[in-house]
């Protein structure tokens, strides 16, 4: 690939090459023309081709030192050739040998990130993002698969010559689409290679039961800008050289007594850091784009850059909100207030942190849920609406056995993932109805504490054995429970069903059937994602009136309103405004926020009296 | 930062021969000629002595202190630091050449030694280690990058893994099956290719083709251990995973550290060269490791995070300027609004009083504070902030810890079966702060375990055959909820707190943080909260909070002071104490005014003096200490009156005047309890009361004998 530039390693071609790719990826269709590791199975991708990968940084390994430039000597002719080691895993020397003592060797540093697909990504996201690549006018002629491969080669060739201007190639997009469609069908036929091997190799996904490729991403520049749990779209060169796997095997076999250093790199560590490339491909990063949301329905560029889209959505917002409210009201057994709060919850977002205090979090506790099957249904509906979510049944067994908090495994030298290692904006659905009587053991207590910390501070303390490290997160937690949840929450609302369907099952399934057409659903999806990304501010006059209001409220009944309540009300007002597409707080929204908060409180009080189990 | 550097080139720089010779001579000269003068002016040849010891096999390694080298030749130090591996070899050569000269006595007497020494002379050098110049700063693992390859670097971290100590072949000895000659092969790398053909003169000339066999007994082995360290949690940027680094320790450096230890390691950062097939498949990557020259165990408290250097003049000035006390207090948990007095108390807790030990009786200097209050008044936040601010602290919750967990547990070591003591939170917080949240939720039996700690500052253990007393010189910061969830004004204080008197009296200060309605405070609170929501940051205050790191360093400096109470103040304090006792008797005080109170006042005043960086306590310190005491008591009692107080204007005016009087104590250092009439009236009028109301209140309270108004009606004196 870099043959042309190898003769002159210092010409700054590296920067140029990266620049070239960046420029191309800025073009409108370019990103879609690059095959994605997320949808295309690995064995359909050409090695050393440009691919993209939407992922979450799960772990960061120690930096690697590699030979940026090295010299090979042909044993026969003694001819010396300088070669470039960037974006490569293995030396290419053919018959010649690498001259390790050459003075021309340049050692450089790169960083390895272990990346996994975004945890909890819902099926509809995957579906849509893979669909968007297929050009409508395709016929599934199996014979064309061969051609597509050839053209892939072509494309690869083009990649290898960055100096030549690559023109947007209409055929290319098609090909990838084809390959994609074909693989989809074939994946079901031959799943053995993937699943069989994962059984002995833990790919370290945060959530149990996740599938998909994980990747070792090699970063060459600015690696300090990336943080753990960042979601990225990585564009890079795929490397699946079998030599990498050979390396791993070799190590195991040749552990000799004479070499005491061998024992340090345990077998587990080897397995983790050098897994077979067929399972965990290497990706040499050329360019990475932070993913602010993983909703494929939204343009991937930031909202500010896409004002047309923004204004069109904003204008629709109020109406979509009304529809969504009706929909939720229906689902929540006719409880409009709860539906309102559910919308607010779904668009909440930690927008800022003040020292330890996260602002904007809005954990909702939906109490008074009728049955277990109801909550599952509820989750299914939410799953349909948000890009990523996870259902955590808080059964005793789960709490006692699951690993919620990521833990550093010093034997394998990696961060063993846990359920709470989630990307931001993930909806975590805690089903407390599953909880039965019994005893929590040590793990259980720790897990519950971790959940509590997550809700109160929006942070997870990763366990590094000798100490703990705080990692801030941004997860929407929704707790459904019968009574008040044992976990803290920002806001609790008791479900008051207006309708009492004779047969709950039937009613629920009818809701599910009722599920809108996909265009409607898509509207909801866009709405929820956009509302979360909007900017928001409070004017000075509003601030003043809010302050006065607060003082007045305190005067009337000091016990009823505390600082925490004000915090919450401001968050509610914020979310309420945003849900209506307003980017600043208005008097109306504030009053409305106050109103619904009062309604909610009065309902809680009522409920307390009925229940009588609260002091 | 440009990380690309021809690092390998640095390691393998080939010196011109003449230069090499010159440098070798330099090394030799240094070893021979370096001396320091002892107090008698006699020359002490430091390295000469080491060489003698080495020659007599009394020592096995030489330590070269680069500080010494710097005295002779600063440039040489620089080159050593940059190319340490090569200079290790040069110095070792020099040592080797010099050794025979330093042999003073006949070692041949020791039969076994002869063989050994002979062997040593023939092959292999003695290990030589550099001690880094004291001026070098330890690096963070993260900052050791490609450009550090070949350099002598010092890193700090926590040991996460240490292998068994294994013998590593340093010199392989072979014997020939034909001629019996011994052949030696020095080994540098982790793996080696054994020799096969005998190179001896006899075999070569005879072409007998003698085979060599490895002699394990004749070979020289060194101890070898590999250690993995990981950077400290506070050196990791937010959102990153801590980095780690491999350390190779040989010889005397082995077995110095165990997993979990905090260490500072000096060594040479080197690429790991593989040979043979591995080199081929390894391809482009080169692993790196650090060859340890010295490993020092560190105590977490002496950690570098404080910064060893003293505060600069500028920093000192920025802290000790006008109103520094309020500023420092305000910098504690700036995101929590209000609670100035509580924060002041916490500041004093961080500084701590002076410990006294007259005639073996120890009086603690640490200040214990208990915060009580309604749920949601940011008690836990204050606690967690203190936990983060204090250089050494432990955070536990009452519900999550048992008495054993707090003090110490006797455990059976799974490996050896021995009984070992495992320190609990209080032991681990020795010389620091132990924050206990949800103090009230603790079981009574567990709570009694800390009685001893709070006064005697030790933990005595008598279990499973282990009888000992551990130091637990920690301040305790506890947070508790009132017994009924919320503070119930209809119940008495004892009922509300439900902590035994024995425990309560051990706290120097008890604060009841209550959510009390007050229009003014409410407005400020609302402003604060809305501002935070509006601008996503802290509202601008008249000061910028002091940076946590600076604060830590300042507190560390403060702690070094040992202020004393001057003779003159003793009377004042005793008088004040007697007064307090009297008051307590009269008002049926529910808190405990005992001898401990007196000690508390002393502790608080010394802490205040420390904060001012003074060597003696002044009257203001005592006054402020008493004010804090008073305020803490007030916080407990005020609400009692709140039930009866129906917010009559007279009552409000009274409290305003009282507030004014206490302010007088704090601010201008005037005598406590005296308020100028004009000032009081002005204050009341500014709060919206008519002068008539003020006069009315004045008379009413005078009748109640709460205060006295002097003849000229210009002064109000509190009784």
Quote the CA–CA distance of B616 and B565 in Å, as a whole number. Answer: 6
Contact B600, B629 (CB under 8 A): yes
Query: What is the arithmetic mean of pLDDT over A537-542?
Result: 80
Q: Is A459 on the interface with B (CB under 8 A)?
A: no
Closest residue of chain B to A357, computed from CA coordinates: B335
Q: Please give, rounded to a whole number of angstroms, the shortest distance from the CA of A376 to a CA of chain B.
A: 33
**Does B39 touch chain A if contact means CB atoms closer than 8 Å?**
no
Do the beta carbons of residue B70 and residue B133 sit within 8 Å?
Answer: yes
Higher-scoring residue by pLDDT: B481, B154 = B154
> Looking at CA atoms only, how far is residue B241 from chain A in angstroms?
6
Interior angle at CA B578, CA B575 and CA B579, nearest 5:
85
A250 contacts B522? CB cut-off 8 A = no
Pick the residue of B337, B379, B526 with the most A CBs within 10 A to test the interface with A by mutation.
Answer: B526
Inspect the interface and report whether the beta carbons of B7 and A107 lie closer than 8 Å. Answer: yes
Report yes or no for ipTM above 0.90. no
Determine whether the interchain pair B166/A260 forms a contact, defined as Cβ–Cβ distance below 8 Å: yes
CB pairs under 8 A between A and B: 217
CB B210 within 8 A of CB B174: no
Residues A248 and A274 sit within 8 Å (Cβ to Cβ): yes
B531 at A interface, C-beta within 8 A: yes
Q: Rounded to whole angstroms, how far apart are CA atoms A565 and A571? A: 10
**Residue B404 pLDDT class (50, 70, 90 cuts):** low
Q: How far is A85 from chain B (nearest CA, A)?
A: 7
CA of A311 vs chain B CAs: smallest distance (Å):
24
CA atoms within 13 A on the CB side of B250: 22
Kindly determine whether residue B168 and residue A566, on different chains, have CB atoms separated by under 8 Å: no
Closest chain B residue to the Cα of A406, Cα to Cα:
B241
For residues A161-166, average pLDDT: 38
Rounded Cα gap, residues A567 and A302, in angstroms = 29
Work out the percent of chain A whose per-residue pLDDT is above 70.
71
Number of C-alpha atoms within 13 angstroms, CB side, residue B465? 5
Average pLDDT, rounded, for chain B: 74
- Coil, strand or helix: which one is A324? helix
* CA separation for the pair A275, A245 (Å, rounded): 7
Partner residue facing A359 (CB), from B160, B522, B533: B533
Q: With CB atoms and an 8 Å threshold, state whether A229 touches B239.
A: yes
Dihedrals φ, ψ of B85, to 5°? -60, -45
Closest in B271, B283, B536 to A91, CB measured: B283
Record: contact B160-A466, CB cut-off 8 A: yes
Q: For B462, list phi and psi in degrees, rounded to 5.
A: -140, 85
B141 contacts B154 by C-beta, under 8 angstroms? no
- What does the pLDDT average to over A160-175? 38
Nearest to A263 among B163, B279, B530 (CB): B163
What percent of chain B shows pLDDT beyond 70?
73
Q: What is the pLDDT of residues A74-101, one digit of tens each?
A: 777 777 777 777 777 776 666 667 776 6
Ramachandran assignment for A368, one of left (phi > 0), alpha (psi -120 to 50 degrees), beta (any other): left
What does the pLDDT read at residue B517? 58
Give the span between the Cα atoms of B135 and B141, in whole angstroms: 18
Best mean pLDDT range from A524-528, B106-110, B373-377, B698-702: A524-528
Distance from the Cα of B143 to chain A's closest Cα (Å) equals: 11
Torsion of CA B136, B140, B146, B151, to 10 degrees: 30
- Residue B370, min C-alpha distance to chain A (Å): 22
Calculate how close chain B gets to A256, using CA atoms only, in Å: 9
| Cβ–Cβ below 8 Å for B525 and A566 | yes
pLDDT for A611 beyond 60 = no
* Contact between A203 and A416 (Cβ < 8 Å): no
Query: Above 60 in pLDDT, residue A187?
Result: no
Cβ distance A538 to B533 less than 8 Å, yes or no, reads: yes
- Which residues 344-403 in chain A show a CB within 8 A of chain B? 351-352, 354-357, 359
Residues, chain A, total?
A: 615
A108·B169 Cβ contact <8 A: no
Q: For A249, how many CA atoms within 13 A lie in the half-sphere containing its CB?
A: 7
Q: Which residues of A touch B242 (CB under 8 A)?
A: 464, 469
Distance from CA of B289 to the nearest CA of A (A): 11
- Chain A residues whose CB is inside 8 A of the B392 CB are none
Specify the residue for token string 């004000």.
Answer: A566
Considering only the beta carbons, identify the residue of B260, B281, B530 that sits closest to A466.
Answer: B260
What's the length of chain B? 719
| B 358-417 → A contacts, CB under 8 A | 376, 381, 384-385, 400
B234 to chain A, any CB pair closer than 8 A? The answer is no
Q: Specify the pLDDT at position B515.
A: 64
Pick the residue with more confidence: B369 or A7? B369
Name the residue facing B284 among A88, A563, A615 (closest C-beta). Answer: A88
Residues 575-594 of B with CB under 8 A from A: none
Instruction: Show the tokens assigned to A48.
Output: 């050393």
Identity of the residue in A108, A258, A570 whose CB atom sits nearest the CB atom of B146: A108
Interface membership of B271 toward A (CB under 8 Å)? yes
Q: How far apart are the first and last CA of chain A?
A: 73
The yes-or-no verdict on residue A143 having pLDDT over 50 is no
Residue A30 neighbours by CB under 8 Å, 6+ apart:
A24, A168
Of B191, B385, B532, the CB nearest to A258: B191
Chain A residue numbers with beta carbons less than 8 Å from the beta carbon of B526 are 546-548, 550-551, 566
Measured between beta carbons, which residues in chain A are less than 8 angstroms from residue B522? 550-551, 554-555
Place of tokens 């205040």: B608
A375 token code pair:
């909550």
The count of other CB atoms within 10 Å of the CB of residue A90 is 21
Instruction: State the residue for tokens 């008379």.
Output: B699
φ, ψ of residue A502 in degrees (nearest 5) = -65, -45
Per-residue pLDDT at A137: 35
Sign of CA dihedral A530, A424, A386, A388: positive
Nearest partner of B168 among B220, B228, B116, judged by Cα = B220
A12 touches chain B (CB under 8 A): no
Query: Cβ distance B90 to B23 under 8 Å?
Result: yes
pLDDT, mean over chain A: 73
- Chain A neighbours among B 187-206 (CB < 8 Å)? 190-192
Looking at chain A from residue 72 to 111, which residues have their Cβ under 8 Å from any Cβ of chain B? 85, 88-91, 97-98, 100-101, 103, 105-109
Q: What is the reported pLDDT for B172?
A: 82
Specify whether the CB–CB gap between B516 and B642 falls below 8 A: yes
Q: Is the CB of residue A229 less than 8 Å away from at least one CB of chain B?
A: yes
Percent of chain B residues past pLDDT 90, beyond the cut? 0
pLDDT at B399: 65
Half-sphere exposure of A104 (CA within 13 A, CB side): 18
Check B529 against A558: CB less than 8 A apart: no
Q: Write out residues 429-458 of B within 8 Å (CB-CB) of A.
A: none
Give the chain A residue whose CA is nearest to the CA of B336.
A357
pLDDT tens per residue across span A417-464: 888 888 888 889 988 888 888 888 878 888 888 888 888 888 888 888
Can you give the pLDDT at residue A184?
37
Q: Could you tell me the pLDDT band of residue B438, with boundaries at 50, 70 and 90?
A: confident
Reported confidence tier of residue A4, pLDDT bands at 50, 70, 90? very low
Contact residues for A495 (Cβ-Cβ < 8 A; gap 6+): A332, A333, A335, A338, A366, A367, A368, A369, A370
- Chain A residues in contact with B385 (beta carbon < 8 A): 355-356
């Amino acid at each position: 690939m870099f043959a042309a530039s190898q003769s002159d390693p210092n010409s700054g071609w590296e920067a140029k090459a990266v620049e070239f790719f960046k420029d191309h990826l800025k073009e409108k269709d370019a990103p879609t023309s690059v095959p994605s590791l997320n949808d295309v199975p690995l064995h359909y991708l050409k090695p050393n081709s440009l691919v993209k990968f939407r992922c979450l940084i799960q772990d960061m390994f120690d930096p690697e030192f590699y030979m940026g430039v090295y010299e090979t000597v042909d044993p026969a002719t003694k001819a010396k050739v300088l070669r470039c080691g960037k974006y490569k895993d293995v030396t290419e020397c053919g018959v010649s040998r690498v001259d390790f003592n050459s003075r021309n060797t340049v050692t450089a540093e790169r960083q390895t990130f272990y990346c996994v697909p975004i945890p909890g990504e819902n099926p509809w996201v995957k579906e849509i993002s893979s669909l968007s690549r297929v050009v409508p006018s395709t016929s599934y002629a199996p014979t064309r698969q061969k051609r597509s491969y050839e053209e892939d080669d072509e494309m690869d060739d083009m990649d290898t010559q960055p100096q030549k201007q690559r023109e947007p190639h209409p055929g290319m997009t098609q090909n990838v689409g084809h390959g994609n469609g074909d693989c989809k069908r074939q994946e079901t036929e031959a799943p053995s290679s993937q699943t069989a091997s994962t059984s002995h190799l833990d790919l370290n996904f945060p959530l149990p039961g996740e599938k998909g490729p994980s990747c070792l991403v090699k970063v060459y520049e600015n690696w300090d800008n990336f943080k753990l749990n960042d979601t990225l779209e990585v564009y890079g060169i795929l490397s699946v050289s079998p030599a990498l796997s050979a390396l791993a095997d070799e190590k195991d076999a040749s552990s000799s007594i004479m070499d005491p250093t061998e024992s340090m790199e345990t077998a587990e560590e080897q397995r983790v850091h050098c897994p077979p490339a067929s399972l965990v491909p290497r990706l040499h990063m050329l360019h990475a784009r932070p993913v602010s949301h993983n909703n494929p329905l939204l343009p991937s560029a930031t909202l500010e850059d896409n004002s047309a889209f923004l204004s069109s959505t904003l204008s629709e917002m109020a109406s979509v909100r009304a529809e969504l409210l009706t929909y939720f009201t229906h689902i929540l057994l006719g409880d409009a207030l709860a539906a309102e709060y559910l919308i607010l919850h779904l668009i909440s977002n930690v927008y800022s942190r003040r020292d330890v205090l996260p602002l904007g979090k809005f954990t909702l506790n939906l109490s008074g849920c009728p049955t277990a099957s109801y909550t599952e249904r509820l989750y299914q509906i939410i799953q349909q609406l948000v890009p990523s979510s996870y259902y955590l049944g808080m059964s005793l067994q789960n709490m006692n056995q699951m690993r919620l908090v990521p833990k550093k495994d010093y034997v394998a030298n990696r961060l063993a993932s846990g359920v709470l290692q989630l990307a931001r904006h993930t909806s975590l659905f805690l089903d407390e109805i599953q909880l039965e009587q019994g005893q929590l053991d040590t793990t259980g207590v720790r897990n519950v504490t971790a959940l509590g910390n997550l809700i109160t501070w929006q942070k997870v303390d990763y366990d590094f054995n000798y100490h703990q490290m705080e990692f801030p997160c941004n997860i929407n937690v929704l707790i459904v429970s019968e009574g008040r949840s044992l976990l803290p929450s920002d806001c609790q609302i008791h479900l008051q069903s207006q309708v009492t369907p004779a047969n709950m099952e039937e009613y629920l399934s009818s809701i599910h059937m009722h599920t809108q057409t996909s265009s409607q659903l898509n509207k909801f999806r866009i709405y929820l994602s956009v509302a979360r990304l909007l900017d928001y501010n409070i004017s000075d006059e509003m601030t003043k009136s809010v302050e006065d209001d607060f003082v007045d409220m305190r005067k009337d009944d000091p016990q009823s309103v505390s600082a925490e309540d004000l915090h919450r009300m401001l968050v509610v007002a914020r979310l309420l405004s945003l849900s209506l597409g307003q980017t600043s707080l208005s008097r109306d929204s504030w009053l409305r926020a106050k109103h619904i908060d009062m309604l909610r409180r009065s309902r809680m009080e009522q409920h307390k009296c009925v229940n009588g189990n609260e002091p | 930062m440009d990380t690309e550097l021809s690092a390998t080139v640095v390691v393998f720089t080939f010196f011109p021969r003449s230069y090499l010779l010159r440098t070798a001579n330099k090394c030799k000269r240094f070893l021979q000629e370096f001396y320091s003068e002892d107090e008698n002016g006699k020359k002490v040849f430091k390295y000469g002595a080491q060489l003698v010891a080495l020659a007599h096999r009394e020592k096995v390694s030489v330590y070269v202190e680069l500080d010494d080298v710097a005295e002779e030749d600063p440039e040489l130090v620089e080159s050593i630091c940059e190319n340490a591996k090569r200079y290790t070899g040069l110095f070792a050569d020099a040592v080797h050449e010099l050794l025979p000269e330093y042999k003073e006595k006949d070692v041949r007497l020791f039969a076994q030694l002869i063989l050994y020494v002979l062997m040593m002379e023939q092959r292999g050098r003695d290990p030589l280690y550099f001690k880094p110049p004291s001026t070098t700063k330890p690096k963070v693992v993260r900052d050791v990058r490609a450009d550090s390859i070949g350099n002598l670097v010092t890193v700090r971290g926590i040991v996460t893994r240490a292998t068994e100590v294994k013998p590593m072949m340093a010199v392989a000895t072979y014997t020939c099956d034909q001629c019996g000659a011994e052949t030696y092969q020095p080994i540098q790398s982790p793996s080696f290719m054994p020799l096969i053909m005998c190179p001896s003169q006899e075999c070569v000339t005879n072409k007998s083709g003698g085979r060599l066999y490895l002699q394990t007994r004749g070979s020289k082995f060194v101890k070898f251990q590999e250690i993995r360290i990981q950077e400290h949690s506070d050196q990791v940027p937010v959102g990153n995973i801590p980095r780690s680094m491999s350390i190779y320790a040989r010889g005397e450096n082995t077995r110095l550290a165990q997993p979990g230890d905090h260490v500072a390691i000096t060594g040479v950062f080197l690429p790991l060269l593989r040979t043979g097939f591995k080199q081929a498949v390894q391809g482009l990557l080169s692993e790196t490791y650090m060859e340890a020259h010295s490993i020092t165990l560190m105590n977490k408290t002496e950690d570098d995070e404080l910064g060893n250097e003293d505060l600069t003049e500028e920093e000192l000035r920025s802290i000790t300027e006008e109103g520094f006390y309020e500023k420092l207090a305000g910098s504690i948990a700036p995101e929590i609004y209000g609670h100035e007095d509580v924060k002041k108390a916490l500041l004093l807790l961080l500084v701590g009083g002076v410990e006294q030990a007259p005639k073996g009786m120890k009086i603690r200097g640490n200040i214990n504070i208990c915060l009580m209050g309604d749920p949601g008044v940011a008690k836990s936040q204050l606690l967690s902030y203190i936990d983060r601010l204090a250089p050494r602290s432990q955070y536990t919750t009452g519900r999550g810890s048992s008495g054993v967990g707090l003090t110490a547990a006797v455990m059976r070591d799974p490996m050896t079966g021995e009984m070992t003591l495992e320190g609990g939170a209080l032991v681990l917080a020795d010389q620091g702060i132990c924050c206990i949240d949800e103090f009230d939720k603790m079981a009574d039996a567990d709570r009694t375990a800390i009685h001893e700690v709070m006064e005697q500052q030790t933990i005595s253990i008598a279990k499973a055959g282990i009888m000992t007393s551990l130091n637990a010189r920690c301040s305790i910061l506890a947070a508790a909820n009132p017994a009924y969830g919320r503070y119930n004004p209809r119940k008495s204080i004892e009922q509300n707190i439900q902590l035994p008197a024995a425990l309560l009296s051990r706290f120097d200060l008890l604060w009841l943080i209550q959510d009390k309605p007050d229009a003014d405070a409410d407005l400020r609170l609302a402003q604060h909260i809305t501002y935070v929501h509006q601008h996503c940051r802290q509202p601008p205050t008249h000061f910028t909070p002091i940076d946590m790191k600076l604060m830590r360093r300042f507190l560390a400096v403060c702690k070094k002071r040992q202020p004393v109470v001057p003779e003159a103040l003793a009377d004042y304090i005793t008088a004040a104490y007697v007064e307090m006792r009297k008051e307590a008797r009269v008002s049926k005080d529910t808190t405990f005014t005992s001898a401990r109170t007196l000690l508390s006042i002393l502790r608080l005043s010394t802490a205040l003096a420390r904060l001012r960086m003074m060597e003696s306590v002044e009257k203001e310190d005592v006054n402020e200490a008493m004010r804090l005491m008073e305020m803490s008591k007030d916080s407990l009692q005020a609400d009692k009156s709140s039930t009866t107080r129906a917010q009559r204007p007279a009552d409000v005016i009274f409290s305003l005047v009282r507030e004014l009087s206490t302010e007088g104590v704090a601010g201008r250092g005037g005598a406590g309890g005296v308020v100028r009439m004009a000032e009081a009236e002005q204050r009341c009028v500014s709060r919206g009361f008519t002068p008539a109301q003020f006069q009315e209140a004045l008379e009413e309270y005078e009748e109640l004998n709460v205060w006295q108004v002097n003849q000229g009606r210009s002064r109000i004196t509190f009784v």
